[in-house]
Amino acid sequence: MRLSDRILIYIASLLLFFAGVALCSMASAQTLPMHANQDPGYWYNLYQEEQARANGLEASGRTSIDGLKASLKAANDTITKQSATIVRLVKERNNQADRATLAEKQLKPVSDELAKYEGKTIAGKAIRKVSNALKYVGGVTIIIIGVKAALL
């Protein structure tokens, strides 16, 4: 071997040696990708983080659901009370309407009797007009007397 070949071999060997030393010194700082990590502590910590997150979500979900249940129960109670009130008022209205109808039926013979005697003749009509006029005159007279008494 010639001297120039030996120098090239020494240089190549030194380069390989320095490359190996550099790789070995950096090997402790290198990490595996997360999905290839074999450390059980890493996976347990990841599990605990996810478990804590799931427990927090479960607790907030239960709180929300319990609040919605309480609101729904309150709304149902309100609707039930309002329905009972509506039923009661409708029954009262129907009872009053039935009583009014019954009263009209009972009053019909009396009003028919009055209509029979009321104003069929010229004299009856005149008497009715006079009685209405006297009512108006009496009302106006009372008002005038009241105003005079108030002013004096």
104-148: pLDDT as tens digits: 898 888 877 776 666 667 777 777 788 888 888 888 899 999 888
CB atoms within 10 A of CB 19: 10
CB 117 within 8 A of CB 124: yes
How many structural domains compose the chain? 2
Domain span at 147: 118-151
Domain assignment present for 90: yes
> For residues 10 and 63, what is the distance between their CA atoms, to the nearest angstrom?
75
Structure confidence at residue 23 as a pLDDT band (50, 70, 90): confident
> 65 with 101, same domain?
yes
Domain assignment present for 144: yes
Single-letter amino acid, residue 46 = L
36-40, 42-46, 70-74, 108-112: least confidently modelled range: 36-40
> 86 with 126, same domain?
no
Domain assignment present for 42: no
Q: Which residue, chain included where needed, has tokens 């509506």?
A: 86
> 70 with 98, same domain?
yes
Q: Tell me how far CA of residue 126 lies from CA of 39, 119, 132, in angstroms.
A: 119, 8, 10
Work out the burial of residue 5: count CB atoms within 10 Å of its CB; fewer than 13 is exposed, 13-18 middle, 19 or more buried: exposed
Instruction: Write down the pTM of the prediction.
Output: 0.37
Domain assignment present for 27: no
> 94 with 123, same domain?
no
Domain assignment present for 85: yes
Domain assignment present for 21: no
How would DSSP label each residue in 115-145?
Answer: HHHSS-SHHHHHHHHHHHHHHHHHHHHHHHH
Domain assignment present for 141: yes
> 84 with 64, same domain?
yes
Domain assignment present for 9: no
